Amino acid sequence: MELNFRSDNESPAAPAIMAALAEANQGTAWAYAEDPLSERLDRAFSDLFDTPTTVVPVTTGTVANSIALACVTPPWGSIFCHRNAHIVNDEGGAPEFFGHGLRLVPVDGPEGKFTADDLERDISANEGHGIHAYVPSAVSLTQSTESGTVYQPEEISSVCTIATERGMATHLDGARFGNAIAALACHPADVSWKAGIQMMSFGASKNGCLAAEAILFFNCPDLRETAERHRKRSGHLLSKMRYVAAQLLAYIEDDLWLKLAAHANQQAARFSEAVAQHPEASLEYPVHANEVFVKWTAGGFSRLEKVGIQFLAWPGRDDLARFVFSHCTTVEETETLCVRLAESG
C-alpha cells in the first residue's frame, strides 16, 4: 500500500470540518456572503487575533494572496518576496493577473527566509530608474516558509520595519500559518499585526478543510471594498459562501487548527530524527513545522519510492525531496516511513 507524503494538500478534510458542512446545510440562506455564518467571520477572527480584523473568505491560497497583494499594489508596483515563494513559483501568474501586470521581485536568502538587510539590498539595487522602473510597493513573507522553516517574531518585525519606512505594504502568506503558530507556540498576533503585517492569507485547506482560506486585513477595514470587488470580478464570490464560512469557523473553534497542525508538526519532527540518524540522507533545512526536505542520492530516493513511499522530487534537483505531514498522517504511517527509510539505506 502506498503512503502519501507528497503534500498536505492531498489530505482529506477533518471530521469536524465535514460536520460543520453538514450543519450548515440546513434550509435556505441568503447568498453571496449575506448569510449568518459569513457574518460571524469578522468577530471570530478579531477575537482570534485580538485586534479588529476584516475577513474576506475565498477558496484557494492563490486567490487569497493575489487579491491581498492587488489591493495594495498598483500595476506599476513591485512586490518583494523570497525566491522560493509560492507567489513566484506556483501560482501560474495569478498575482500578475489580479495586479494587472505588477512585478514580483525574488529576494535570495538561506532556509527559505530573507532578512531586513536582504530586502534593503535588493530594493536599492532596483533604484535609480525613476519613471522607467517599477515602484517598490509591498513585501510578502511566507510563514511557515516554502522550506519548512519558521520566522521568529523579531525577524518578521525587522523586515516589516524596512517596508513600512519605505511606504510599502506588508503581507504574510499563511498557507501553513497553523503549523507556524503550533511550532512557535506564540499568539497569532505576535507574527502578524504586532510584527507589522497589515494583511495575510490565512490558510485552512492544507490543514483540515476542503477549500477555505481567509484574507485578513488588520486594522485597515477600508480595503474590504477593494478586496470584495476583486473577489467578485474574479468569480470567487460563491453564491453559497456559507459553506466556506462554516469551514473557517469550525477550523478556528476550540483551537482545532492548532491541534491539527501540532499533530502534523510532530510527525515531521519524528521523521526528521530518522533522517538525522540515517547514514546517507540528511536534512536540507532545519525542520520547524510540517515539511521535511531530505537531501539524498537519486538511488536512495528511488529505493524509497519502490517500497511505496510517495513524496515530492524537488523540481530541478535530483538530490532533494520534500516530505509533508498533515493532520491525517497517522503515527503508524510516520513510523512505517521511518522504518522504510532506514531499510532503504
Q: Mask 1-40, x = binds a copy of itself (CB under 8 A)?
A: ---x-xx-xxxxx----x--xx--xxxxxxxx--------
Residues in the chain: 345
Taking CB under 8 A as the rule, does residue 89 contact a copy of itself?
Answer: yes
Rounded Cα gap, residues 107 and 91, in angstroms = 17
- Scanning residues 244 to 303, which ones bind a copy of itself (CB under 8 A)? none
| 246: enclosing H helix or E strand | helix 242-252
- Restricting to residues 292-311, name those near a copy of itself by CB under 8 A: none
CA-CA distance, 304 to 133, in Å (whole number)? 48
**Shortest Cβ 251–a copy of itself spacing (Å):** 14
User: Which residues in 200-219 contact a copy of itself (CB under 8 A)?
Assistant: 205-206, 210-211
Candidates 120-128, 142-150, 257-265, 285-293 — which segment interacts with a copy of itself by CB under 8 A? 120-128
* C-beta atoms surrounding 328 within 10 Å: 18
Phi then psi for 246, rounded to 5 degrees?
A: -60, -45
Q: How many residues bind a copy of itself (CB under 8 A)?
A: 74
Which of 32, 50 has the CB closer to a copy of itself? 32
Contact region for a copy of itself (CB under 8 A) — 47-55, 108-116, 226-234, 260-268? 226-234
Instruction: Give me the least distance between CB of 185 and a copy of itself, in Å please.
Output: 27
Which span sits near a copy of itself by CB under 8 A: 109-117, 235-243, 262-270, 290-298? 235-243
- Torsions phi, psi for 54 (to 5 deg): -100, 130
- If binding is defined by CB under 8 A, does position 343 make contact with a copy of itself? no
Radius of gyration of the chain (CA): 20
Find the shortest distance in angstroms from Cβ 26 to a copy of itself: 6
Residue 188 interacts with a copy of itself (CB under 8 A): yes or no: no
DSSP string, 187-226: -GGGGTGGGT--EEEEE-GGGT-SS-EEEEEES-TTHHHH
Q: Beta strands 53-58 and 213-218: pairing type? A: antiparallel
Chosen residue from 48, 180, 227, 237 binding a copy of itself by CB under 8 A? 237
β-strand partners of 136: 78
Q: Is residue 140 a contact residue for a copy of itself (CB under 8 A)?
A: no
Give Cβ neighbours of residue 182 (< 8 Å, ≥ 6 apart).
258, 261, 262, 264, 265, 289
Q: Which of 20, 71, 81, 96 binds a copy of itself (CB under 8 A)?
A: 96
- Closer residue to a copy of itself, CB minimum distance, 67 or 258: 67
* Smallest distance from a copy of itself to CB 19, Å: 10
* Cβ proximity to a copy of itself, 195 vs 246, nearer residue: 246
Site for a copy of itself in 63-82 (CB under 8 A): 63-64, 66, 74-76
The secondary structure of 111-151, three-state, reads HHCCCHHHHHHHHHHCCCCHHHCCEEEEEEEECCCCCCCCC
